[in-house]
Amino acid sequence: MLVTLLLASFLLAAFIRRTGTELLADARAAERRQLRAEAYSALESLIAILAVERAENGAWHQADPRWLSLLEAGVYAPAAGRALEVGLVDESAKISLARADAVTLQTALEGAGVMPAEAERMAVVLRDWIRPGQADEPPVAEAPDYAGEDPAYRPARRALRSWGELAAVQLDRPVFFAEDGSPTAALRVFRDDFSLHAFNLTNLNTAPASVLLTLGLGAAEVTALAQHRARPLGPDAPAYFRSVAEAGAVIGEAADATRFGAEVAAWRIGITIRQGAIAFRLMAVVAAPGAAAAPERAAAAESAEAGAAPPVERKRLDYPLAVLEIREDPDASEMPAPLL
């Protein structure tokens, strides 16, 4: 009898512990669903502000703190007990990897610490991988022949879909990836200066010094541009260049209109909603229609290669901005620094 009571007590205690754990897990999952809904609401509200500002002014030139103030002032407010963090950075302050030539790639690789001879080879190999074309086209003379690999494969002949794809490109692997597969400092530097999204021009108003140097500006021009950005503003002086021609007054002929622009092509937005120890992160890249494009999606490319029937056309929302990328709970290191 005593043994039976002890066994029943043990089983009851185990059941209570398990039930309590499951209830706690269910409660956390419910909280995360609520935080997720909050994050999407904040994203939609910020997109609406960006769309209105562009419609009124014709273009974006750089971030305006007033936009985040509008969000905080009542366009969107998190529920009681929750905290909102917003990051907003110009994606076109970077160089579009899809548009970069071999010289630009070599310069960037050297800036990331790769020796010149190896940087030249890696630039040719990477450019051969991302150049438009058919996967079965022969490689350029300096590029490797992937058919000799085990298993054999072919270069993509399209823009990178992720930074992890670089592991398949026959570069000097230790330059970009450590033995455990984690990104090296060189890859982080390269990733900071390049975007996987396609756009034509880098924004002179927001590009960092490393990008400006990679695109051919000299140290003197970069310094002059930094001083211009930091200058005290008069009541009628714009905080940004409205055109590349205006930038010419500061950096002279280095204001190359074939490489630089004065408008934001795309924004990278980071939204974090916190409640106690629980946080939900949402990151998106949005652009004005036609200003930038996301890398070709895998499903579309594979269907085209296989000769499959085109996907069924679905009704599309008349959305004010194009959403190029959206990810839930990305790594915290990928999120734009919070501004709010």
pLDDT tens-digit profile of 69-115? 888 776 777 888 888 999 999 999 999 999 999 999 999 999 888 88
- Across the range 3-21, mean pLDDT stands at 59
Q: Structural domains in the chain? A: 38-90+265-334 (no CATH), 96-198+207-229 (1.10.40)
- Give the span between the Cα atoms of 119 and 122, in whole angstroms: 5
pLDDT at res. 199: 96
Per-residue pLDDT at 174 exceeds 90: no
Q: How confident is the model at residue 154 (pLDDT cuts 50, 70, 90)?
A: confident
pLDDT at res. 304: 46
pLDDT at res. 242: 92
- Across the range 161-171, mean pLDDT stands at 85
Burial class (CB in 10 A: 0-12, 13-18, 19+), 109: buried
Pick the more confident residue, 287 or 184: 287
Is the pTM above the cut of 0.85? no
pLDDT at res. 306: 47
Q: Are 269 and 287 in contact (CB under 8 A)?
A: no
- The predicted-structure confidence for 49-73, as pLDDT tens digits, reads as follows 999 999 999 999 999 888 888 887 7
- The predicted-structure confidence for 175-208, as pLDDT tens digits, reads as follows 888 888 888 888 888 899 999 999 999 999 999 9
Per-residue pLDDT at 11 exceeds 80: no
Considering 27-36, 237-246, 286-295, 317-326, the range whose residues carry the highest mean pLDDT is 286-295
Q: How confident is the model at residue 148 (pLDDT cuts 50, 70, 90)?
A: low
Per-residue pLDDT at 324 exceeds 90: yes
Say what percent of the chain tops pLDDT 70.
78
Question: C-alpha angle 191/195/197, rounded to 5°?
Answer: 150
Pick the more confident residue, 307 or 227: 227
pLDDT at res. 129: 86
Q: Are 324 and 266 in contact (CB under 8 A)?
A: yes
Using CA atoms, how far residue 94 sits from 110, 148, 318, in Å, is: 17, 35, 28
Contacts of residue 247, defined as CB under 8 A and 6 or more positions apart, other chains included, come to: 204, 225, 241, 255, 260, 262
pLDDT at res. 305: 47
| Entry field: residues in the chain | 340
Task: Compute the CA torsion angle 256, 259, 264, 265 (nearest 10 deg).
Answer: 150
pLDDT at res. 300: 46
Say what percent of the chain tops pLDDT 90.
41
Considering 5-14, 78-87, 157-166, 203-212, the range whose residues carry the highest mean pLDDT is 203-212
Q: Are 68 and 87 in contact (CB under 8 A)?
A: no
- Report the 3 state secondary structure along the chain: CHHHHHHHHHHHHHHHHHHHHHHHHHHHHHHHHHHHHHHHHHHHHHHHHHHHHHHHHCCCCCCCHHHHHHHHHHHCCCCCCCEEEEEEEEHHHCEEHHHCCHHHHHHHHHHCCCCHHHHHHHHHHHHHHHCCCCCCCCCCCCCCCHHHCCCCCCCCCCCCCCHHHHHHCCCCHHHHECCCCCECHHHHHHHHHEECCECCCEECCCCCHHHHHHCCCCHHHHHHHHHHHHCCCCCCCCCCCCCHHHHHHHHHHHCCCCCEECCCCEEEEEEEEEECCEEEEEEEEEECCCCCECCCCHHHHHHHHHCCCCCCCCCCCCCCCEEEEEEECCCHHHCCCCCC
- Look at residues 291, 274, 276, 242 and name the one whose alpha carbon lies nearest to residue 338: 274
- Across the range 221-244, mean pLDDT stands at 85
- Give the span between the Cα atoms of 44 and 291, in whole angstroms: 20
Pick the more confident residue, 340 or 190: 190
* Mean pLDDT over the full length of the chain: 83
pLDDT at res. 13: 64
Considering 24-28, 65-69, 92-96, 272-276, the range whose residues carry the highest mean pLDDT is 92-96
Question: For 10-14, 275-279, 290-294, which range has the lowest pLDDT when averaged over its residues?
Answer: 10-14
